[in-house]
Structure 1
Amino acid sequence: MKKLFILIALVFLITSTILAQESGNHQHSEHLETLLTEYLEIKRALVNDNFEGAKSALQSFSQEITTNNEMKHHPEHSLMHETHHSTMITAVESASNAENIDQLRNSFDEISAELIKAVKNQNIKTNLHVQFCPMADNGDGARWLSENEEIKNPYYGSMMSTCGSLQEQI
C-alpha cells in the first residue's frame, strides 16, 4: 500500500511539473508587451482628442496583430487563439477604417475587451488597471486598460475625461 501511495504521488508530481512548464511556455510576453505599449499610445491619444495620433498608434498595433506569428506556436490551443485573434483583427480593421474620432472610439472598446482578455489569460502580472465608463458604447458601458488609477476616459476625451470607475488591477 505504501508503494502504491508513493507511485501515485510521484505520477501526480511529474504531471503537475509538466503542466506547469507547458503553462509557463504558453505565455506570449513579447507580443503582449508590444501590443500593450501601442494600445496605451492609442488610449492616450483618444484621451487627448488626438485622432491622427490615435490612428498612427493604431497602425503600429495593427502591424503587430497581423504579422506576429507567436500565436501559431501552440497547436494545442490553436482554436482558442484563432477565435481570439480573429476577433481582435476584426476590431482593428474596424478602427483602421474610422474616418473620425467617434468611429475610432467605437472600435476601441472592442480592442480593449480583447486585450483585457489576453492579459488575463496570460496571467502576466502587470500594474494595469481595468477601468469602466457606464456611458460609453451607447450606454452599454465599455472598459479600457490604464497604467494609472486616475480615470482618463478615452471614450469621451476632454468632454468627460473623468467619467468612469476603477474595476480592478491586473
Structure 2
Amino acid sequence: MKKTFLSILLVLSIIVAKAQNTGIDKLTSSYMGVKNALVGSNAQLVKTRSAELLAALSAPVKGLQPAQQKLMTTYLEKLKFDSRHMSENGALDHQREHFENLSKNMYALLSGLKLNSTTIYQQYCPMKKAAWLSETEEIRNPYYGDDMLECGKVTATLKGQ
C-alpha cells in the first residue's frame, strides 16, 4: 500500500512539473520570438511577437509552488507592460527601449523559477549597457541589429531542467 501511494505521488509530481515547464517554455519561446524579430530589425514582426508574448503572459502557469507563484506575481505585470507597449508601437527604437526592461525582468523571473527546460544564455551589450536572453551562445544583438550584430558576450547561463 505504501509503495502504491509513493508511486502515485511520484507520477503526480512529474505531471505537475511538466505542466510548469510547458507554461514557462511558452513564455521563453515567445520572448525569443520578440528578441529574434529585434535582431532582424523588423518592427512589424516585433509587434506581432510581442502580442504573442502578452498572450502567453496572460495564460496561467499551473502547478507553481507558493514561492514560485509569488515570484511570478512580482514580475508578471512588469512583463505585460513592456510586451503591451512593444505590441502597440511600431517604432523600433521605442520597442528596443521596452525590450531592455523586458529582458531584465524575464531573466529575474526565469533565474528565480528554475523551470526552463532548455538552456538559456544571458548576453550583454557593452555599447548599450543592456542584457538580453538567447537560446544560443552565438551573439545576435537585438539592440543594434545588423549595425552591431555580434557585439556582446555571454554573462550567465540558465541550465535547462
TM class, shorter-length: 0.7 to 0.9
Note closer, same or farther for the CA distance 1:86–1:135 as it changes in structure 2 (3 Å cut): same
Aligned to 1:65: 57
Q: How does 1:101-112 map to 2 (within 5 A)?
A: 101-112=92-103
Shift of 1:72: 9.1
- Contact 1:38–1:60 (CA under 8 A) maintained in structure 2: yes
The whole-number CA distance in structure 2 between the counterparts of 1:34 and 1:151 is: 22
Alignment equivalent of 1:147, drawn from 131, 135, 145: 135
Deviations along 1:32-57, one digit per CA (max 9) or x if unpaired, are 10111111111111111111112111
Deviations along 1:108-140, one digit per CA (max 9) or x if unpaired, are 11111111112111223532111001222xxxx
Aligned to 2:156: 168
Q: Is 1:54 the counterpart of 2:53 in the alignment?
A: no
Divergent runs of 4+, >4 A: 71-79
Note closer, same or farther for the CA distance 1:82–1:163 as it changes in structure 2 (3 Å cut): same
Q: How does 1:115-126 map to 2 (within 5 A)?
A: 115-124=106-115, 126=118
The whole-number CA distance in structure 2 between the counterparts of 1:92 and 1:72 is: 24
Deviations along 1:54-85, one digit per CA (max 9) or x if unpaired, are 2111111111112x122696566655432211
Q: For this pair of structures, how many residues does the alignment match?
A: 142
TM-score (norm 2): 0.77
Aligned to 1:97: 88
The whole-number CA distance in structure 1 between the counterparts of 2:140 and 2:99 is: 14
Matched residue of 2:154: which SS? strand
- Contact 1:28–1:122 (CA under 8 A) maintained in structure 2: no
Whose radius of gyration is greater, 1 or 2?
1
Does 1 or 2 have the higher relative contact order (CA < 8 Å, sep 6+)?
2
TM-score (norm 1): 0.73
Shift of 1:166: 1.0
- Contact 1:35–1:64 (CA under 8 A) maintained in structure 2: yes
Percent identical across equivalent pairs?
A: 25
Note closer, same or farther for the CA distance 1:53–1:30 as it changes in structure 2 (3 Å cut): same
- Contact 1:134–1:142 (CA under 8 A) maintained in structure 2: yes
Matched residue of 1:152: which SS? coil
- Contact 2:24–2:61 (CA under 8 A) maintained in structure 1: no
Structure 2 residues not aligned, in runs of 5+ = 1-12
Deviations along 1:4-39, one digit per CA (max 9) or x if unpaired, are xxxxxxxxxxxxxxxxx7xx86x8322110111111
Aligned to 1:4: none
The whole-number CA distance in structure 2 between the counterparts of 1:112 and 1:28 is: 21
